[in-house]
């Protein structure tokens, strides 16, 4: 009985991890074909380390993710606090704030492309950054609003009763109590922005591709085992980050 219940779990894990394991194994392949094994080698990691396009893509991605995270964290936090205080009866404004997260990415992407073209904006890193801020703003607002719902409002009242001004209360009471939500929202935005492809594909322009765009053209136009090496590195990074985040959140829960 117990065995039978666990069977689907093993099936799912096999499904989820077979492709991952195959990529990792194939990244150490000596052959020029990404599919056929012909002996162990780490040569493709060397090729990857010398690939300027990949490195530039990585740099572009980090710039966009950092910028979009900073911008959406500030805008999203203010918006979340504002919605909690001043729009408690409105259902329209909260709905607007989550719209970018539920809208199909391709619709947001072509809408932004149409807008940039209308105002004759040059497509480049700045247009991707502003585009990523749209969905980042939605995620930061959502996460911070959840945090606000669990915070005792009497803290802010006490601060004002004791004579602190609006700004002092915000900086010394509101922000610190919301900090875990703000950090969580920022991390989420950063991670999503690193991986985001569809919106960047439409708004990046030809000169400054982000890493996902570079990966896309590697897959479409020239598959070599170099991409297996890149895939393995990205897998290692994201697995480490997720597990570390899990450890940290368990640690903060314990405190």
Q: Which residues, numbered 152-171, are part of the site for another protein (CB under 8 A)?
A: 166
Which of 47, 198, 205, 224 is the binder for another protein (CB under 8 A)? 198
Instruction: Give the binding range for another protein (CB under 8 A) out of 41-49, 50-58, 71-79, 149-157.
Output: 71-79
User: Cα 85–86–91 angle (5° rounding)?
Assistant: 105
DSSP string computed for 147-170: HHHTS-THHHHHHHHTT--HHHHI
Contact flag: residue 124 with another protein (CB under 8 A): no
- Minimum distance from CB of 92 to another protein (Å)? 11
Which of 59, 96, 183, 187 is the binder for another protein (CB under 8 A)? 96
Positions 2 through 41 that interact with another protein (CB under 8 A): 5-9, 11-13, 15-20, 22-23, 26, 33-36
Q: Which segments of the chain does DSSP mark as H helices, in order?
A: 2-26, 43-49, 52-86, 92-102, 105-118, 125-149, 154-161, 166-169, 175-195, 198-203, 211-221, 226-254
State the number of CA atoms in the 13 A half-sphere of 195 facing the CB: 11
Closest to 64 in 3D by CA, of 5, 14, 132: 132
- Minimum distance from CB of 225 to another protein (Å)? 10
Positions 210 through 239 that interact with another protein (CB under 8 A): 212, 215-216, 219-220, 223, 227-228, 230-231, 234-235, 238-239
Which of 108, 129, 186, 204 is the binder for another protein (CB under 8 A)? 108
Contact flag: residue 1 with another protein (CB under 8 A): yes
Rounded to the nearest angstrom, the gap between the alpha carbon of residue 23 and the centroid of all alpha carbons in its chain is 23
Contact flag: residue 67 with another protein (CB under 8 A): no
């Amino acid at each position: 009985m117990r065995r039978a219940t666990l069977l689907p779990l093993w099936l799912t894990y096999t499904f989820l991890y077979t492709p991952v394991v195959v990529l990792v194994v194939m990244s150490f392949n000596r052959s020029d074909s990404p599919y056929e094994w012909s002996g162990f080698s780490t040569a493709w990691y060397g090729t990857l380390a010398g690939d300027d396009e990949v490195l530039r893509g990585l740099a572009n991605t980090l710039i966009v993710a950092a910028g979009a995270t900073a911008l959406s964290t500030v805008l999203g936090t203010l918006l979340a606090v504002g919605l909690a205080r001043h729009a408690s009866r409105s259902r329209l404004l909260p709905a607007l704030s989550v719209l970018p997260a539920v809208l199909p990415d391709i619709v947001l992407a072509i809408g932004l492309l149409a807008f940039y073209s209308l105002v004759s904006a040059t497509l480049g890193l700045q247009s991707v950054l502003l585009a990523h801020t749209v969905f980042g703003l939605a995620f930061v607002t959502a996460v911070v609003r959840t945090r606000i719902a669990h915070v005792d409002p009497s803290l802010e009242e006490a601060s004002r009763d004791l004579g602190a001004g609006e700004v002092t209360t915000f900086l010394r009471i509101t922000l610190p109590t919301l900090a875990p939500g703000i950090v969580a929202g920022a991390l989420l935005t950063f991670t999503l922005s690193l991986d985001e492809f569809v919106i960047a594909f439409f708004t990046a322009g030809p000169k400054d591709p982000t890493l996902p765009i570079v990966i896309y053209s590697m897959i479409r136009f020239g598959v070599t085992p170099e991409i297996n090496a890149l895939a393995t590195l990205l897998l290692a990074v994201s697995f480490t980050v997720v597990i570390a985040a899990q450890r940290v959140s368990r640690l903060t829960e314990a405190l």
